[in-house]
């Protein structure tokens, strides 16, 4: 009987130990589920949207920078073009050279050898000089208009966005060169500056 009782107690103890292990496993699973529920709830905002769906300030700034990129590139290119056109108006370009040579050839063909010296000088050299001045004035006017458009672009396209300092500097340089080139072109075309020599 004693042996049987001891065996029964051992079986009962093992059963209780098994029940305790099952209960511990169930408690752990419940705790794990509760922790997962708290993590999910922490990732959900007050509107019921996941936290990842909330727009980030850095992302908005990056998008704004990407939007500003093309406009900044275009304005910079316009400023460089304005300065280049102003420089061409002062130094001369191949178009002005070709126009001058053409006017010289036309003057030689249309002027007879028996014409007066004053008429020959005007037809051969004066018209060529005026053609050079005209093309220089056109380049200067293009530089002036382009520079003004670049400087005024932020006021119409994106108010409040500051323009890069180097763009302003280059655009102002183009405007300045355009004004100077335009004044010189008008003076040369009107013979107020470096007029043809007198043949009297």
How many domains does the chain divide into?
Answer: 2
If you average pLDDT over residues 166-189, what whole number do you get?
94
If you average pLDDT over residues 15-36, what whole number do you get?
52
| Neighbour-count burial of 103, counting CB atoms closer than 10 A to its CB (0-12 exposed, 13-18 middle, 19+ buried) | buried
- Model confidence at 40: pLDDT above 80: no
Distance, CA of 128 to chain centre: 41
To the nearest whole number, what is the mean pLDDT of the chain?
A: 74
Whether the CB-CB separation of 170 and 83 falls below 8 Å is answered with yes
Domain span at 18: 2-51
Of 72 and 192, the one with more pLDDT: 192
- Model confidence at 138: pLDDT above 90: yes
Residues 6 or more apart whose CB falls under 8 angstroms from that of 111 comprise: 119, 120, 123, 124
Same domain? For 139 and 100 the reply is: yes
Q: What pLDDT is stored for residue 164 in this prediction? A: 86
Sorting pLDDT into bands at 50, 70 and 90, what band is 64?
A: low
Task: Report the C-alpha gap between 28 and 7 in whole angstroms.
Answer: 32
Same domain? For 25 and 123 the reply is: no
């Amino acid at each position: 009987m004693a042996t049987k009782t001891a065996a029964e107690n051992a079986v009962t103890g093992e059963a209780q130990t098994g029940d305790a292990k099952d209960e511990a496993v169930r408690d752990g699973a419940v705790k794990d589920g509760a922790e997962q529920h708290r993590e999910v709830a922490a990732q959900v905002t007050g509107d019921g949207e996941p936290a990842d769906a909330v727009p980030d300030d850095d992302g908005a700034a990056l998008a704004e920078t990407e939007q500003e990129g093309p406009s900044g590139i275009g304005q910079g290119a316009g400023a460089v073009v304005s300065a280049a056109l102003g420089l061409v108006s002062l130094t001369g370009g191949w178009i002005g050279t070709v126009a001058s040579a053409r006017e010289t050839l036309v003057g030689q063909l249309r002027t007879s050898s028996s014409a007066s010296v004053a008429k020959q000088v005007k037809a051969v050299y004066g018209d060529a000089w005026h053609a050079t001045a005209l093309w220089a004035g056109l380049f200067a006017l293009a530089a002036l208009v382009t520079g003004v458009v670049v400087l005024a672009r932020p006021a119409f396209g994106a108010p409040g966005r500051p323009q890069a300092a180097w763009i302003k500097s280059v655009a102002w340089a183009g405007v300045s060169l355009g004004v100077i080139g335009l004044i010189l072109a008008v003076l040369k075309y009107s013979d107020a500056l470096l007029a043809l020599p007198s043949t009297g």
